[in-house]
Structure 1
Amino acid sequence: MSTLASTGWAVFRNGDFRLFGAARFLTGLAYQMQAVAIGWFVYDLTKSALALGLVGLAGFLPAMLAALITGHVADTYDRRLVAAISFGVQAATSFGLLAYALSGAQAVWPVYALVILVGTGRAFANPALQALLPTLVSRDLFGGAIAWNASLWQTSSVLGPAAGGLLYAAGPAVVFGGAGASFALAALLVAAIRFRPAPVSERPPVSWATLSAGLAYIRSQPVVLGAISLDLFAVLFGGATALLPIFAAEVLHVGPLGLGALRSMPAAGAVTMAVWLAYRPLRRHAGARMLRAVAVFGLAIVVFGLSTSLPLSMLCLFVTGAADMISVYVRQSFVQGETPDAMRGRVAAVNTVFIGASNELGEFESGLLAAALGAVPAVIAGGAMTVLIAVAWGRLFPALRARDHLLKPD
């Protein structure tokens, strides 16, 4: 077995990492199943692109508004328990969605309220999990851990939309119930991780300086700032996820099963790339490869917007997932690998806001633009903007473009 392959298996043989990975898989499955059900449920109720965009905004607001607090919590308390409690909150919220779907009510605002609660749980879980991962494996296995973690998450993101679309045929309540059960099991798994952090002898005082330390650190690191902001603006403009129900219903003329297949394709591309990176980690030219991957992402979005063929549309979304995985792999290596452990939660919280802005806030932007221009022109314009952003960031952040290795030498 090659050295690279043995490194990949060494990560997965770690018992704590397996518990961590299983929890990530289950939560990814729940998020994606639920996203398909919420999207179709809201579109059934409203027939509105703007209403779909508001789902993304509702999911993003908690992460943005509570970012400084969630990072402080992740750096102050046991990260395992923070994540477990957060998953428990999301399980309860999924069961709330189940009850609302069974009620037969037609108002959409309760769905937004429950999505806000899901977003609140994610806002606390994500920094805790991002800060926990580097403590579970040695530094020499960290690149493999990032790739394995991403591949498990993306595998669930392949299966989740397909399962959500299939189960939706039996009603949205079935999907919400399955998501709730997955969140509950994930809470138990992450709580069972045996790693225990060193006791905190003195908790840092809650002040503006301690709360904003993660933001200050990112601003002081041009490579990290460039990587995070590149992901923010590229996916903010280039994302098409929120509009997939419209493409499925009105452009490609497929139903919930077709929507599930479309939503699965980015994750299928991402998991394929993640598995490849787990065995063949990037060794050189990390920054330049990230910039090229973002440009490919944008081009694939443009072609998707022009397509009226289901197979071609699925291929384009597959390519976007593979390209985005390269960007995620590089960015997460920079953020999680170089940040001091005492600050990882706060830096991860800021990173989560950027990720959330590029995804959930990007869905809101897509909905607004589609309401003004139409879904197809909005997607094409967003993809073209992403290509331009990749070119611009190569000039604005020369340190990112020139960055060679994923991690700085010790």
Structure 2
Amino acid sequence: MISFTPLKTLQNVEFRNLLTGRFFIVLAFRMLATLLGWWVYQLTKDPFSIGLIGLSEVIPAVSCALYAGHVIDMNEKKKLLLICNYAYIFLIGLLLIPAFFGSKTHFTGHQITYYIYGVIFFTGIARAFIGPIVPSMIPKIVKKENLPNAVTLNQAAFLVSSVCGHAIGGFLIAGFGVKWTLVFIILLIFIASLFFWQLNKQHSEYKKEQVNVMESMREGVDYILKTKEILGALCLDMFAVLFGGAVAMIPVYATDILKVGAEGFGLLNAASDIGSMCIITILSIIPLRKNQGKILLVVVAGFGLCIIGFGLSQLYWLSFMFLVLSGMLDGISVVIRGTIVQLKTPDHIRGRVLSVNSIFIMSSNEMGQFESGLAAKLMGVVRSVVFGGTMTVLIALIVGSTNPKLRKMQY
């Protein structure tokens, strides 16, 4: 049985620096996501325009993901992490132009939105690299017996920063406006870089001149396809997030259905992450010790039911509670899936496997945002959210009945 020792893992200074840097950068990313959804909807008053934010990022992220995995495995990881960090600072800095001067120009709200989409397209390229780098560094920093706990703590830091980012983003938008919120986001990403500078270098085990790029990228894909536990977990989460992306419609719910304004919008955005943070804190102390595969299937189906409840609710407190519960179930799912991927992946292809993982998982959030926007345009907002929750439940049933290895998975 693997020993879970949160305090012992946190005694590792390098791991703390990696975790703290990730906390600040995810805090910034969540604030940016909150800001962009609000900003674009205020510019266009069109739910579909929110979906296009996700599409603008997911296209380059997915297109570059396999190559990003190859680059991560073949190069020094700390240097790549810092390059991506500063690339984000530059790109988000470009959004300051319409934020500070948009009202002084003759550009329409839709024209400013197109500019925002263009900037987000390039952040998608940076995301293809930065997404897999941090988790790929963890196994070289902590001992193997502490790896499951490190994965849980990493996800806990992610969720705490998500909660704070969503909530603070809403309050800053209400109190200081879009432009000063963007300035604060850039400052947070710079602070993250200060912690990343404290990390040790992690050099590649390969000599680049001896590696064929296409064969290298294919190796990560082949490994996932033959490892049914990883494949099942990634497929389950990808489709659940794709169809269960109700959070993309929160700006519409906050503005037009629940009528709670920017402050209520920020809290609704943070609700699912509050639930996830609570459950992951519990899992850090009391880990899941058996039947993780079955639990994964049950919590994904429960997540879909919560999305249906949120879609039908017209009461702010009830909508908030459905999102909190959905976050608790999603948090369990994330911990199980992340641990399966880390434990089942050899070090020498970890970057490539995690890059494929980013195609399945990270990019599915943006595709889910696009799907939600498109479905809202075709069906109406409420029907689209209920449809997404129903599809999530069906996906859990299908994966559970067709993947016995995942269903029997324990670690």
TM-score interval (norm. to shorter): over 0.9
**How many residues align structurally?**
402
In structure 2, the partner of 1:120 is 125
Describe the superposition over 1:353-382 as per-residue Cα deviations: whole angstroms up to 9, x where unpaired. Answer: 111332000100000000011111100111
Aligned-pair CA distance for 1:206: 3.5
In 2, Cα distance between equivalents of 1:4 and 1:338:
18
Residue 130 of structure 1 aligns with an amino acid whose one-letter code is P
Deviation at 1:120, TM superposition (A): 1.6
TM-score, structure 1 normalization: 0.95
1:95 alignment counterpart: 93
SS in 2 for 1:353: helix
- On the 8 A contact 2:312/2:386 being kept in 1, the answer is yes
Mapping 1:297-316, distance limit 5 Å: 297-316=303-322
Tell me which amino acid in the other structure corresponds to 2:385.
V
Per-residue deviation, 1:200? 4.3
Equivalence for 1:274: 280
| TM-score (norm: length of structure 2) | 0.95
Map 1:290-301 onto structure 2 (within 5 A).
Answer: 290-301=296-307
Mapped partners of 2:297, 2:78: distance in 1: 34
Q: What is residue 21 of structure 1 aligned with on the other side?
A: 19
1:282 aligned counterpart, secondary structure? coil
Unaligned runs of 5+ in 2: none
**Match status 1:182 vs 2:180:** no
Does the CA contact (< 8 Å) of 1:298 and 1:384 recur in 2? yes
Q: CA deviation at 1:178?
A: 1.1
How many angstroms apart in 1 are the aligned matches of 2:202 and 2:44?
48
Q: Percent identity at matched positions?
A: 36
Identify the range of structure 1 (132-141 vs 97-106) with the bigger mean alpha-carbon deviation. 97-106
Give the residue type in structure 2 aligned to 1:101. A
Determine helix, strand or coil for the equivalent of 1:212: helix
Q: Which residue of 2 aligns with 1:72?
A: 70
| 2:270 counterpart letter in structure 1 | S
Cα distance in 1 for residues equivalent to 2:316 and 2:41: 20
CA distance in 2, matches of 1:4, 1:400: 23
Cα offset for 1:137? 0.7
- Give the aligned residue type for 1:100: P
The answer to whether the 8 A contact 2:243-2:372 is kept is: yes
Task: Report how far residue 4 of structure 1 moved.
Answer: 6.3
Paired position in structure 2 for 1:83: 81
After TM superposition, the structure 1 stretch with the greater mean CA deviation from structure 2, 365-374 or 194-203, is 194-203
Unaligned ranges ≥5, structure 1? 406-410
Give the AA of the match of 1:16: E
Amino acid at match of 1:17: F
Relative to structure 1, is the Cα distance of residues 4 and 319 closer, same or farther in structure 2, using a 3 angstrom cutoff?
farther
Deviations 1:94-114 (A, max 9, x none): 211122211114321110011
The alignment's C-alpha RMSD in Å is 1.5
Post-superposition Cα deviations, 1:106-134, rounded to whole Å, max 9, x if no partner, equal 32111001111222211110111121112
| 1:205 correspondence with 2:203 | no
Q: Work out whether 1:8 is the aligned partner of 2:14.
A: no
Q: Which of the numbers 133, 138, 150 marks the counterpart of 1:133?
A: 138
4+ residue runs of structure 1 moved beyond 6 angstroms? none
Is 1:173 aligned with 2:179?
Answer: yes
Listed as ranges, the matches of 1:6-405 within 5 Å are 7-104=5-102, 105=107, 106=109, 107=111, 108-169=113-174, 170-194=176-200, 196-197=202-203, 200-405=206-411
Residues 26-45 of structure 1: CA deviation (Å, up to 9, x unaligned): 01110111111111110111
